[in-house]
């Protein structure tokens, strides 16, 4: 169970602080249930309610990684890529699903896959689709937002350096996990 004041990554909402854990009743039945009350750092005016006993939703809440854990994860996944889906509509649907989960492992593999596709396309004088480019930008932004909460990473270029193994990030003491 998470504690009040903890920082977590939650789906595509990104880094959130747990403001409270309390009973709330929603809906016509008025049944009270315990909820994590989350505030996304990118929009502190928003409030997310995650039922404590809902495994499907709480399994999407993850403690933030340390700088060493981020580098180890990047090292572990460096060569992993998704199978490329030729049909752009089917590919966009699959990639949107990955973005919606906010799963850092899947996001890193997604970034690796699109970067690989960019390099392959450039070799034959082609470009990737605008949809793939937008997906890449969003995935990098999501990873950077999460990883910057606990490290010195400040830019997508630094993030890509970590994912390629060219840069090691250092811990940031501001956010405690």
**Mean pLDDT for all residues in the chain:** 93
List the structure tokens of 136: 């890449």
Q: Collapsing DSSP states into helix, strand and coil, what is residue 30?
A: coil
Domain ranges across the chain: 7-63, 67-164
Q: According to the model, what pLDDT value does residue 174 have?
A: 52
Give 68-80 pLDDT, tens digit per residue. 999 999 999 999 9
* Overall CATH class of domain 7-63: mainly beta
pLDDT tens-digit series, residues 41-98: 989 899 999 999 999 999 999 999 999 999 999 999 999 999 999 999 999 999 999 9
Neighbours of 176 (CB within 10 A): 9
Strand arrangement of the beta sheet that strand 32-40 belongs to: 48-51, 32-40, 14-25, 7-10, 61-63
pLDDT at 44 (0 to 100): 85
Query: Comparing 7-63 with 67-164, is the CATH topology the same?
Result: no
**Is the per-residue pLDDT at 175 higher than 60?**
no
Q: Phi then psi for 23, rounded to 5 degrees?
A: -80, 135
What is the SS3 assignment for 78-132? CCCCCCCCCCHHHHHHHHHHHHHHCCHHHHHHHHHHHHHHHHHHHHCCCCCCHHH
- Residues sharing a CB contact under 8 Å with residue 93, sequence separation 6 or more, in sequence order: none
Q: What is the pLDDT of residue 16?
A: 95
pLDDT (0 to 100) of residue 7: 94
pLDDT the model gives residue 176: 45
pTM over 0.85: yes
pLDDT at residue number 27: 74
Q: What is the pLDDT of residue 30?
A: 73
The pLDDT confidence band at residue 177, using thresholds 50, 70 and 90, is: very low
Render pLDDT for 124-167 as a digit per residue (tens, 0 to 9): 999 999 999 999 999 999 999 999 999 999 999 999 999 999 98
Banded pLDDT at 29 (limits 50, 70, 90): confident
Q: Select 67-164's CATH number: 1.20.58.1290, 3.40.605.10, 2.60.120.260, 3.40.50.300.
A: 1.20.58.1290
């Amino acid at each position: 169970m998470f504690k009040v004041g903890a920082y977590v990554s939650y789906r595509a909402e990104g880094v959130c602080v747990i403001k409270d854990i309390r009973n709330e009743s929603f809906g016509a039945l008025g049944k009270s249930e315990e909820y994590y009350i989350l505030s996304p750092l990118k929009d502190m005016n928003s409030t997310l309610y995650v039922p404590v006993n809902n495994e499907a939703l709480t399994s999407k809440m993850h403690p933030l990684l340390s700088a060493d854990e981020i580098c180890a994860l990047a090292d572990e996944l460096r060569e992993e890529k998704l199978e490329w889906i030729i049909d752009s509509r089917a590919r966009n649907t699959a990639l949107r699903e990955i973005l919606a989960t906010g799963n850092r492992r899947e996001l890193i593999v997604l970034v690796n896959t699109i970067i690989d596709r960019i390099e392959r396309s450039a070799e034959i004088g082609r470009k990737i689709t605008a949809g793939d480019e937008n997906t890449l930008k969003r995935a990098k932004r999501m990873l950077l937002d999460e990883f910057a909460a606990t490290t010195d990473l400040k830019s997508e270029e630094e993030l890509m350096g970590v994912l390629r193994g060219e840069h090691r990030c250092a811990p940031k003491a501001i956010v405690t996990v």
